[in-house]
Amino acid sequence: MDAAAKCPRGGEDTQAREWTLRRGYDLLRDPRLNKGLAFTLEERQQLNIHGLLPPCFISQDVQVLRILRNFERHENNLDRYVLLMGLQDQNEKLFYKVLTSDIERFMPIVYTPTVGLACQQYGLTFRRPRGLFITPHDQGHVATLLRSWPASVVKAIVVTDGERILGLGDLGCNGMGIPVGKLTLYTACGGMKPQECLPVMLDVGTDNEVLLNDPLYIGLKHKRIRGQAYDNLLDEFMQAVTNRYGRNCLIQFEDFANTNAFRLLRKYRDQYCTFNDDIQGTASVAVAGLLAALCITGNKLSDQTILFQGAGEAALGIAGLAVMAMEKEGTPKTEAIKKIWMVDSKGLIVKGRASLTSEKQQFAHQHEEMKNLEEIVRKLKPTVLIGVAAIGGAFTNKILKDMASFNKRPIIFALSNPTEKAECSAEDCYKLTEGRAIFASGSPFQPVTLPDGRTFFPGQGNNVYVFPGVALGVVSCGIRHISDEIFLTTAEVIAQQVSKQNLEEGRLYPPLSTIHDVSLKIAVKIAEEAYRNNTATFYPEPEDKEAFIRSQVYSTDYENFLTDSYSWPINASKIQSAIR
């Protein structure tokens, strides 16, 4: 039977079907539509792909098993990362089905710590471009570049300029692995639809001489552009995004250097729907860990003395949100600030010290100048020690023993990524504090068993507990400006999901296997508060917000192109639109 006979309406319907038949081969190469050997015989015939696949029919579950067996064959995590990214380029639904089948197993591969190595080796492992690459040479034409992206609806963007990738420094265009990885987790952990997410690299050059001399480097080979030219490109990008995708499009800033991160957040936060994950996301997950730890110590956050090793984006973000949390407990802001101390590369931040930024200045207290961290710990006797300076081993054996000597239950967070940048290992922390430390890390650590038989499962303070749920909540109700209150709310929701058993096992965060439910709870709470505070813009207000948000969540199950809802000509037009 020919196309005209199958499309009784003829005309445009026939044309749409003929177009689809001609593009059947391309359908198999579109990861959004490809089902591989899971296409049924009727689908293969109708979509003109019969004969382009082996004469075998395999369910999605069996496809997952095949991927798992290939995954296990690889001996190192970088090869596993390449395998999974290749799958993402071939079959999107299968990729996310694999990830969500065991998120605890796969998240360290598609994100920290493996993504750091992948970024370092990006030129070597580069296969297929994902997202948009925008350079200063495109200035004046950024809107044109956005129009070249095939999706007309984009609800979330993660953008980086690659200057401060994790704790690895300036990786330039190789940093594109971070936006790609973040948005992967938007979907796997939060249920955001991948076709509505866009990773963006603002390649303004790099100051990394190794990359500039590397023939495999994929970015611009010149020093970073700074100053007004840099700002002009950012301004044009932000405006072009809202012109193309609307003022409700969420723009997440990721891995910008300290010099730009804070000022760009201040500049854009009241103009656009935007947040900085390194500042606000890290703050939220760290405060969530602190709130959970208080369930063990039995006191308040304002009862703590908090010392930060590091005074950059992460430290200042955590400190600011911790002050908000103390204020919510009833502590005046001026008193809350006094509970927080910081150490940067020049030593303890104190009043009168030269060259302090305005952000650091607010946490500068009257005290003698000190430079040695061990001496600072002995002098201040903090109850909470947080490492966010990416200095591996900064929490020495002496520091860990001292923390245990003047605290019954010392709270020690080694949050720097990747693993080799962690301030201490989970094993050292638990053993040197005789199992009394309340520990969390930025990268995953294996369970630790002490000589007395107790086993602890280190909590991973991963931002993945925060940004997928925040994004889902913000996008679902149309919040246009993301306040710090949203991140405090998120921290509270996360802490509430930590059970008594989790705490007894040493976990300060809910198991990653529950991350999808955690993200949903965060999104629902954000939506409830947004409608209550009149910051939501999508109306009418849904009566059942959880059901409303669930209805928007991405499904990893294959669709049947030949069901009634996809019958001709709807099926043809849908496929045509998706491929375009």
Separation CA 201–CA 516 (nearest Å): 27
The catalytically annotated residue of 35, 96, 97, 111 is: 111
Decide: residue 452, CB within 10 A, 0-12 exposed, 13-18 middle, 19+ buried.
Answer: exposed
How many CB atoms within 10 Å of residue 22? 10
Distance CA 350, CA 353 (A): 6
Task: Return the bridge partners of 348, or none.
Answer: 343
Q: Pick from 400, 404, 398: which is nearest to 414 by CA?
A: 400
Rounded CA separation 404/395 (Å)? 13
Question: Coil, strand or helix: which one is 112?
Answer: coil
CA distance 468 to 148: 26
Distance between CA atoms of residues 11 and 18, nearest Å:
11
- Tell me the HSE value of 395 on the side-chain side, using a 13 A CA sphere: 37
- Cβ-based neighbour number of residue 172 at 10 Å: 27
- How far is the C-alpha of 182 from the C-alpha of 119, rounded, in Å? 13
Q: How much of the chain is helix, strand and coil, in % rounded to 5?
A: 50, 10, 40
Q: Is 230 a catalytic residue?
A: no
Written as six digits, the tokens of 410 are 């010392």
**b/e map of 362-373 (b: 16 or more CB within 10 Å)?**
bbbeebeeeeeb
Specify whether the CB–CB gap between 385 and 395 falls below 8 A.
yes
Choose, from 93, 182, 339, 525, the residue flagged as catalytic: 182
10 Å CB burial of residue 394 (0-12, 13-18, 19+) is: buried
Report the run of H or E that residue 119 belongs to, with start and end: helix 114-120
Q: Who contacts 334 (Cβ-Cβ below 8 Å, separation ≥6)?
A: none
SS3 353: coil
What does the H/E/C string look like for 517-558? HHHHHHHHHHHHHHHHCCCCCCCCCCCCHHHHHHCCCCCCCC
Q: Where are the alpha helices (DSSP H) in 346-420?
A: 358-361, 373-380, 397-405
Beta bridge partners of 449: 455
Nearest 5°: CA angle at 197, between 444 and 529? 80
To the query of whether residue 521 is one of the catalytic residues in this protein, the response is no
Cα-based torsion angle of the residue sequence 496, 502, 506, 510 in order, rounded to the nearest 10 degrees: -60
Catalytic residues: 111, 182
